[in-house]
Amino acid sequence: MAATGKPVDYTVRNHVAVLTLNAPPVNGLSQSLRRAIKTALCDAEGDGCVEAVVLMGGGRMFCGGADIKEFASGEISEPDVNVIIRQMEIMDKPVVAAIHGVALGGGLELALGCNLRIATRDARAGFPEVRLGVLPGAGGTQRTPRLVGVGLALDLILSGRSIGAKEALERGLIDALSERDLLTDAIALARRACQSGDPLPVAGRLPFNGTSDLEQTITAALEQVLRRTPDAEAPKAIARCIAFAASGVDFEEGLVFEREEFLKLMSNTQSRALRHLFFAEREAAKIPNLPPDVALRPVERVGIIGAGVMGRGIAMTFLNAGIPVTLLEIDADALQRGVEAIRSNYVTRQEKGRMSAEDLKERMGLLRSSTNYDDMSDCDLVIEAVFENMEIKQNVCARLGEVCKPGAIIATNTSTLNVDTIANASGRASDVLGMHFFSPAHIMRLLEIVRGAETAPAVLATVIALARRIGKVTVVSGVCYGFIGNRMLESYLRELDFLLMEGATPARIDTALEAFGMAMGPCRMMDMAGIDVNARVLDERAAEGALPDDPGYRALVRKLAAMGRHGQKAGQGYYRYEGRTPCADPQVDRIAAELAATLGIPRRDDITDAEIRDRLLLPLINEGFRILEEGIALRPGDIDIVWTAGYGWPALTGGPMHHAEALGLGRVCHRLEELGRQTGDRFGYFAPAPFLLRRVADTA
């Protein structure tokens, strides 16, 4: 149907008014769209030739929900979605929602307010509000349990996941699947509803069918969510709304209760932080000086060099997206180990019922393996994931420069090394960039893309588009040690060893950071990543003269590495391991105390949790300002995405840079200076970054 440029297109077909939402890109329910729907419904009601209404979305989807940008004002202007739904519910003409693409959040609530719902087979429906720190605020918590039962309602609303149309039909969320043309089928459904003479179904008038153990069901579902994010407000409010509905109150009272809870959440800091991340994630894929019309290079086959920890995960990332992979190793044994590890990962998934036998066969069928570099010649993109050693990487890239076809992209998965030096070794630096995956690569969402000095715009644009295809969120970084994430990680870890030497235990430090919301405290994280790996990087950096020339700097990590306490894989690191369970190890405290004595570091018993957090987190934030000033990161939001998607920083705080703004930059500055005085700041990392100081001065 041709769009008229109005927010809602109104046409009449076969005595059915067809209201088409026309608010690209997602038909977000902005005030202008809400007003237009209200007016169009009045028109349909007053039109004597119209017997029924079909509500559908123009463009790619039915409706992506409320216009989140409006939340910033702290209120929802009239008419809100509840008003529209009320209007549909009291109309004596049937209203049918015709869903294609997605019906999410307020979009699904709008559909639930219609008498009937029909969807295309590939459509999806869900309530993602919890991911934005809010809840369905237009009756979703009240109508959904009435329509499909409390179990599914809790599942959908607490998880934010969406379900496909087939499941939605089976579970009663929709009434029919469209087998041919959606609009034709929706009109036919609407006409049948008129002709049947049966009372029109209204979800809000259904009784609340609860079982006696309802309260327990709600508490158990909530507890499960809070295990991951105990501080999250939205899940608690969702549980309250559903429990309120279940308590036997009138439906209208439930709507009022839900609205109050929604408005409270909308204005709280958690929702602001999560909305910031939603927009930051989309913004991060936009690169200011990249021409929008740059022609993308085709990527039909990907080559991967090295089938170690990362190579295997990267291979599975592409196989999972249906992209053929050629995996290359140094010899047949290493290659077989890599391929078998991939197969065994898939077999385990199949055994757990998360993958079908056909999918397993299909994915392994897309995998070719080789020990011959000539087999890279038909790949459109080759990613090297060999040892973190400049000479080896240069040799590999020189070889790839020779064997890869013209136009093929060469990427390095280095986590710290200079991408330009690696690119130059290839002899075709414009084809090269960094693709820094995170471990496990097939699970972690973040992909840091490192743009070299010579990287061609088409290469960068192709990899950003490809990342979307393989389900990654991308951030583009400039070239420097560790790029955005690992460079800031070093700032995070610098005070760790000093705190331990001063007398804080690993468990104490981890608990303080986990209470702040980090997915894992720094000691557990280091034990998992490998203390030897970190110590090797430190040695290399020290040899380059890039680290402070001071025996105290990261002294404990080097000592533990030298003692073979390499972390979880060695059964001991900052902790002692029983299986994968970390146990406090008094020996680590003794080692730390001995080092402190040797280095003349006084032991203290007055270290507070707040000091632990500040000494670890504020230098990290400070480094973020340096990274911004140098142009390594394009925006503060990019840094926030790196840390929330790649390093377990709590999304509820919006990432380190958003968190700093929320704390107040003046306060951050002041506390850094205070800590600098307290610790002596031998290495200068508590000195506020010039950009931070300027920001403080600008806002004073």
Interface residues toward ligand 3HC, by CB under 6 A: 25-26, 28, 64-69, 81, 102, 104-106, 109, 128-129, 132, 134, 136-138, 140, 279, 282
The CB-of-436 to ligand NAI minimum distance in angstroms stands at: 6
The CB-of-189 to ligand 3HC minimum distance in angstroms stands at: 25
At residue 140, what is the residue type?
A: G
Q: Which entry of ligand 3HC, ligand NAI, none binds 310, CB below 5 to 8 A by partner kind?
A: ligand NAI
Interface with ligand NAI (CB under 6 A), residue from 413, 424, 534, 653: 413
Yes or no: say if 151 and 158 are a contact pair by the CB < 8 Å rule.
no
The one catalytic residue among 129, 261, 384, 611: 129
Q: Which is nearer to ligand NAI, 217 or 370 (CB)?
A: 370
The CB-of-118 to ligand NAI minimum distance in angstroms stands at: 46
| 388 contacts ligand NAI (rule: CB under 6 A) | yes
Number of neighbouring beta carbons within 10 Å of residue 178: 21
Q: Which is nearer to ligand NAI, 498 or 649 (CB)?
A: 649
- State the residue number with the nearest CB to ligand 3HC: 105
At residue 240, what is the residue type?
A: R
SS (H, E, C) 481-535: CCCCHHHHHHHHHHHHHHHHHHCCCHHHHHHHHHHHCCCCCHHHHHHHHCHHHHH
Interface with ligand NAI (CB under 6 A), residue from 82, 141, 414, 455: 414
The CB-of-574 to ligand NAI minimum distance in angstroms stands at: 17
Alpha-carbon gap, residue 89 to 69, rounded angstroms: 28
Which stretch, 53-61, 64-72, 379-387, 468-476, contacts ligand NAI (CB under 6 A)?
A: 379-387
Residue 129 among the catalytic residues: yes
Residue 106: CA atoms inside 13 Å, Cβ hemisphere, count? Answer: 26
Residue 189 corresponds to which tokens in the numbers above? Answer: 């459904």
Interface with ligand NAI (CB under 6 A), residue from 8, 168, 245, 310: 310
The CB-of-225 to ligand NAI minimum distance in angstroms stands at: 28
Scan for tokens 């153990």, then name that residue: 213
Nearest CA to 96 out of 182, 183, 190 is that of: 190
CA dist 509 → 420, 514, 522, 614, 660 (Å)? 37, 9, 8, 11, 21
Q: Which entry of ligand 3HC, ligand NAI, none binds 28, CB below 5 to 8 A by partner kind?
A: ligand 3HC
CA dist 696 → 19, 238, 618, 665 (Å)? 51, 38, 15, 6
Nearest CA to 321 out of 466, 482, 170, 498 is that of: 466
Which stretch, 66-74, 156-164, 411-419, 683-691, contacts ligand NAI (CB under 6 A)?
A: 411-419
Residues in 456-515 that interact with ligand NAI by CB under 6 A: none
Interior/surface letters 42-51, b for 16+ CB within 10 angstroms, e for the rest: ebbbeeeebb
At residue 407, what is the residue type?
A: G
Exposed/middle/buried for 324, CB within 10 Å: 0-12, 13-18, 19+?
Answer: middle
The residues near 30 (Cβ < 8 Å, ≥ 6 apart) are 23, 67, 69, 70
Scan for tokens 């707040």, then name that residue: 610
The CB-of-695 to ligand 3HC minimum distance in angstroms stands at: 25
Interface with ligand NAI (CB under 6 A), residue from 106, 126, 145, 311: 311
Q: Which is nearer to ligand 3HC, 59 or 324 (CB)?
A: 59
Residue 109 among the catalytic residues: yes
Interface with ligand NAI (CB under 6 A), residue from 163, 385, 397, 470: 385
Q: Which entry of ligand NAI, ligand 3HC, none binds 329, CB below 5 to 8 A by partner kind?
A: ligand NAI
DSSP conformation letters of 174-190 = SSEEESS-HHHHHHHHH
At residue 614, what is the residue type?
A: D
Binding mask 618-657 toward ligand NAI (x if CB under 6 A, else -) reads: ----------------------------------------
Interface with ligand NAI (CB under 6 A), residue from 306, 482, 506, 573: 306
SS (H, E, C) 317-343: HHHHCCCCEEEECCCHHHHHHHHHHHH
Q: Which is nearer to ligand NAI, 254 or 306 (CB)?
A: 306
| 386 contacts ligand NAI (rule: CB under 6 A) | yes
Which stretch, 242-250, 307-315, 420-428, 651-659, contacts ligand NAI (CB under 6 A)?
A: 307-315
Alpha-carbon gap, residue 443 to 427, rounded angstroms: 33
CA dist 506 → 509, 537, 574, 678 (Å)? 5, 22, 6, 22
Count of residues that bind ligand NAI according to CB under 6 A: 24
The CB-of-427 to ligand NAI minimum distance in angstroms stands at: 17
The CB-of-655 to ligand NAI minimum distance in angstroms stands at: 20
Q: Which is nearer to ligand NAI, 12 or 309 (CB)?
A: 309
Nearest CA to 419 out of 379, 378, 459, 446 is that of: 459
The CB-of-134 to ligand 3HC minimum distance in angstroms stands at: 6
The one catalytic residue among 51, 109, 281, 611: 109
- State the residue number with the nearest CB to ligand NAI: 308
Would you please indicate which residues are annotated as catalytic (active-site) residues?
109, 129
Contacts with ligand NAI by CB under 6 A lie at 305-311, 328-330, 334, 385-388, 392, 396, 413-415, 437-439, 529
